[in-house]
A and B are shown apart, each in its own frame.
Chain A
Amino acid sequence: MQNGECRMKNAARFCIPIPSLVIAALVCLFSPCLRVSVFQLSAAAQSDDFSAREEFALRAAAKHVAPSVVRVETLGAAEGDASVASARRSSGVVIDAAGWIVTSTAAMEGDPKTILVTLADGKRLAARRVATDESRQVVLLKVDSPEKLFVPTAAPQREIAAGQWAIALGRTFDGPDASVSVGVVSAVGRVWGKAIQTDAKISPHNVGGPLVDIRGRVLGLITELPLDGAGGTEGGELYDSGIGFAVPWEHIAQVWRRLAKGENLKPGRLGIGLKSPDLFSQPAVIGACQTGSPAKKAGLKPGDRIVAVDGAAIERGAQLRQALGRKYAGDRATIEVERDGAKSTHEVELVAELPAYVRATLGVLPRRDEMALVVRHVLPGSGAETAGLKPGDKIVKLDDKPIASRSDAAAAMTEKSPGEKLSVTYERDGASATVDVVLGGFDIALPGMLPPARASLGTGEKPSLDLGTAPIKLPEFAETAAAYVPERFEGRVPLGLVVWTKAAAGENEAQLIERWKATCDASELILLVIRSKKQAVWEPGEAEFVRRAMEHVAGKYGVDRTRVALFGEGADGAFALSLAAALRGRVTAAAVAEAALPPTVELSPTEPLAPLAIYSAHATDSRQARRIDAGLARWRALKYPVTGKSLPAGMTALTGDDLADLGRWLDSLDRL
């Protein structure tokens, strides 16, 4: 607890006014029956007094900082979404008397053309945006103020502790006073080391404003930081929830001069993917090092276990993220790793952007009924075909690494880029040979037919799982779904999963399943149809049910994780695309017909351990052609593998041969 508060609380306990103490004592001596009520009276007077003084202190703290709180209004912001108003109000705080103001990136949504700042005294000034700290979601503005502006004092970051008073101020209401919301500091070092957490009500009324302690010092700047730190507007969902975040004011005071020079600050990236997606219980073992990344340049390799960053011990993935999460591009870090029992230290300089990761492939489809990597099919036009690989070949070494399974091969491929040569050692008819294969990209043309992925079509034993069409219901959700599992499935060779997100209107589950049955059987896929609650529209909250239902089915049937796709047509397809962007890693493909990626969906750079491939079909005369192509261009710009397909004029859904074509594309998602 802060020193100031201890003093106040102690004072209340011991500074009982003398006269009431004397009277209380006298009355107690002479009339025992009155003792209880007198104590109640004086206690009530004390509590009244203490409460009143505490309230006074909180109001005084708010009043003290209020002159530095400004209103930020923006005009002319782009409206991607109809629900966003074109004129928006937020708050801001003066950081320098010469007219420098900080606010949250939430205020600058849609890149507004005009920014107006209203000072505490009511004066309105035009403002220009100078720079952004993308890691902390803070924007620096400059106004030309004739007078010096009031700058608040910072609370020393080291002293900030959970439980102390925290007052959130804003200036979005009219009137001379700043709005007040009172709570406490809930925790420090949140959002991967970057923020103070508070339970003061954070809402559009005070985002961009200051979080203040009871002594009138600024703890931090209230922001909309989303919990997973991935960017986007998820932070807005936390309004009025009991959780809010503020970036420490002392930190902003340290970096704002860099922003004032026009330098945008970005989060620093190392360029590794961890082997285990479970950050909280698994050690930080590197799964992949991206080509051209600081990690690769420093000599880190997949398999290395990170044991310390900047001298602090790391035992779990989450701690690594916590240590690196607060660093900017350009910052350095000292990484200590353990490899084959020996420890070594590496210096890295983090970067803002990593070179885009482009998936490389040999051009073979693997057999699915073998542990080892056995070629099922060689894709025409691929490096594997040129090198002479044939179905039945068993690949045992890539470069010098022994390959015992398909996942070994996949891991080895993450280090490579298209155009590079890979030395492949394989066994055929008892003899082994080595060839050099020139790697290609992911979207190689597919043949008309694919051979089956396994030798036998089932041994006749039926697993104790539901086959055919089965309803899917999860206990906490009202929505329902239905799945179709190919009848031939015997539980041994994992199937792929296609999740069809369908808005309520139109065909029902049974009809959709009927359309896909043949494709599922031929391409070894489970079809999971999920219907939205409302007619023709998906609500963001329903994404959770889709994710849970998908995990439920994937777990129940032991689905092959390299072949999990989302599917949708029209508006459902747009939903599927945005969901796929968010669920990258859990979903490895998105296939849509007549659907464009919504412009407001943010795309993250590709990652070797979270691959996502896109299949998009539309009619030659589609009215959405331009929008669809614009969306595909965005995916391609980030080097996601995109397969485009033309449908006959007037077609907006996939049927017959076109659907079979998609089935084969899905069947080949596990290509290497």
Chain B
Amino acid sequence: MCLAQAAPASAIESTQQRVVKIYGAGGTSGLEAYQTGVLISAEGHVLTAWSYVLDTDTVVVILHDGRRLEGTLIGADPKLELAVLKVDVQDAPHFDLTKAPPLDAIDAGSRVFAVSNLYNVATGDEPASVQRGVVAAKASLAARRGSYRTPYTGNVLVIDAVTNNPGAAGGALVNARGELLGVLGKELRSQETNAWLNYALPASEIRGAVAELAAGRGPRRTTERASQPEQPHTLAGLGIVLVPDALPKTPPYVDRVRDGSPAAGAGIRPDDLVLMIDDQLAPSCRAVVEGLERIDRADAVKLTLLRGEELVEIKLEAAGAKP
């Protein structure tokens, strides 16, 4: 009987009505010509992933009931890898991003459903496919630098289900009540482990940027700093001299500390082993230098050191110290 339902039929049905199938450029040597999108306004704004599929003059958008519409690209954000299309429709069932549950209302273990046109299984009149899973974790992809090749540095919802398949990007991630939690991201593979990541961009976090795209105002230029600061920290500026970088991956032991430097003042000693720069593991001398290059001199930097068998955490400020 209906006790076997994992979610109310109405929640799934309403979600499927708001998910569209998108067809465009591609279709050769491993590149698909299809992906998924979600309706975010009654007049036909469609939120989807920014990808090569949209790289064409005519993007075809097919609704859940088979209605075939032409989509026009009105805005794209390369950093979020999101785009907004416009189709000509009225009173379309849609998700209201302003009502999306905030990130801290979503816990690991919460039941979720992903609705997408993975592998282009849905063609023509059919609604997109539904998959079931739970939220595995909330994580920041940028925290593990080099782990994932993506420009997106915000938080994602990691999903315990195999959702990020060919064609699924742009699909809807909803809870059992049919509320939009996120938009399925593009296929991403960990550089370390080679494992695929199943994830969605949280609806509440991308809300503002999407509104700008929908209004045709292009990606919002935030006051974010460039990825490489103009005046970063240096070992010399902090007063740290590491052992000579002789091996391909020399362990970053401190050789000596300059008198009167910020490092000396903070209590760093020779033979300390630098383990982390701002909570990023630094397994070699080169990694320490690269880690410091990403931090502006005006900011404090946290070093985690191994002294014998003990972990020591030290916050360093270079401001005011002249090399």
Residues on A facing B (Cβ under 8 Å) = 12-13, 40, 43-44, 46-48, 50-52, 55, 58-59, 62-63, 73, 75-76, 79, 83, 85-89, 113-114, 116, 124-126, 128, 144, 167, 173-175, 177-182, 200-201, 203-205, 239-240
Contacts and interface: CB of A to CB of B under 8 A. Distances in A.
Contact of A114 (B7, B139, B306): B306
B108 A180 contact: yes
Contact of A179 (B111, B137, B193): B137
A181 B304 contact: no
Contact of A43 (B1, B133, B279): B1
Contacts of A175: 137-140
Nearest to A56: B109
B109 to A, nearest CB: 4
A177 B158 CA distance: 12
Given A59-B108, A62-B109, A177-B107, A75 B281 contact: yes
B156 to A, nearest CB: 10
Given A43-B1, A55-B109, A180-B137, A86 B160 contact: no
Contacts of B5: 44, 47, 51
Contact of A13 (B3, B9, B111, B304): B3
Interface in B253-289: 273, 275, 279, 281, 283-284
Contacts of B309: 126, 128, 144
A638 B7 CA distance: 60
* A-side interface mostly: mixed
A181 B139 contact: no
B134 interface: yes
B6 interface: yes
B69 interface: no
Interface of B: 1-10, 107-111, 133-140, 143-144, 158, 160, 162, 176, 190-196, 249, 251, 273, 275, 279, 281, 283-284, 304, 306, 309-311, 313
Nearest to A9: B3
21 contacts: A43-B3, A44-B8, A44-B9, A47-B2, A48-B176, A51-B5, A51-B111, A55-B134, A59-B107, A75-B275, A76-B283, A114-B273, A114-B275, A144-B309, A175-B137, A177-B108, A179-B136, A179-B137, A182-B160, A200-B160, A201-B162
Nearest to A57: B109
B176 A86 contact: no
Given A50-B3, A73-B281, A180-B108, A85 B192 contact: yes
B134 A182 contact: yes
B110 A59 contact: yes
B176 A52 contact: yes
A180 B138 CA distance: 10
A672 B3 CA distance: 71
Contacts of A51: 5-7, 111, 176
Contact of B196 (A73, A114, A240): A240
A88 B158 CA distance: 19
B281 A173 contact: no
Contacts of B2: 40, 43-44, 46-47
A262 B166 CA distance: 49
Contacts of B135: 180
A205 B136 contact: yes
A87 B283 contact: yes
B288 to A, nearest CB: 12
A173 B160 contact: no
Contacts of A85: 191-192
A46 B3 contact: yes
Given A76-B283, A87-B283, A180 B273 contact: no
Contacts of B194: 83
A179 B108 contact: yes
Contacts of B108: 59, 62, 177-180
Contacts of A75: 251, 275, 281, 283
B196 A88 contact: no
A116 B109 contact: no
Contact of A126 (B191, B193, B310): B310
Contacts of A116: 275, 311
Nearest to B279: A174
A175 B107 CA distance: 12
A479 B10 CA distance: 49
A180 B136 contact: yes
A177 B104 CA distance: 11
Nearest to A169: B108
A177 B249 contact: no
A5 B85 CA distance: 47
A173 B155 CA distance: 11
Contact of B193 (A55, A125, A204): A204
Given A128-B309, A203-B195, A180 B7 contact: no
Given A75-B275, A124-B304, A180-B136, A240 B3 contact: no
A338 to B, nearest CB: 49
Nearest to A66: B108
A268 B190 CA distance: 37
A238 B6 CA distance: 28
The 10 A-B residue pairs whose C-beta atoms are closest, nearest first, are: A59-B109, A43-B2, A179-B137, A173-B139, A87-B281, A204-B193, A85-B192, A86-B283, A181-B160, A180-B108
A173 B3 contact: no
B31 to A, nearest CB: 20
A110 B248 CA distance: 16
Contact of B137 (A46, A126, A173): A173
Contacts of B134: 55, 58, 180-182
Contacts of B160: 180-182, 200-201
Given A59-B109, A177-B138, A126 B6 contact: no
Given A44-B8, A50-B3, A51-B6, 16 more contacts: A55-B110, A55-B176, A85-B192, A114-B275, A114-B306, A126-B311, A173-B137, A174-B143, A177-B107, A178-B108, A179-B139, A180-B109, A181-B160, A200-B160, A239-B195, A240-B162
Contacts of A48: 7-8, 176
Nearest to B304: A124
A63 B107 CA distance: 10
Nearest to B309: A126
Nearest to A58: B109
A113 B251 contact: yes
A76 B247 CA distance: 12
Given A47-B8, A175-B137, A182-B160, A204 B109 contact: no
Contacts of A240: 162, 195-196
Nearest to A117: B311
Nearest to B312: A126
Contacts of A124: 304, 311, 313
B176 A182 contact: no
A50 B7 CA distance: 10
A177 to B, nearest CB: 5
A116 B279 CA distance: 12
Nearest to B193: A204
Contacts of B4: 47
Contacts of B140: 174-175
Contacts of B311: 116, 124-126
Counting chain B CB atoms within 10 Å of each CB, the highest count among A87, A116, A128, A240 belongs to: A87
A203 to B, nearest CB: 5
B314 to A, nearest CB: 13
B137 A12 contact: no
A48 to B, nearest CB: 6
A178 B135 CA distance: 11
Contacts of A87: 281, 283
A179 B134 CA distance: 10
Contacts of B306: 114, 126
A12 B1 CA distance: 13
B207 to A, nearest CB: 21
A576 B53 CA distance: 42
B137 A55 contact: no
A201 B313 CA distance: 35
Contacts of A126: 306, 309-311
A669 B160 CA distance: 53
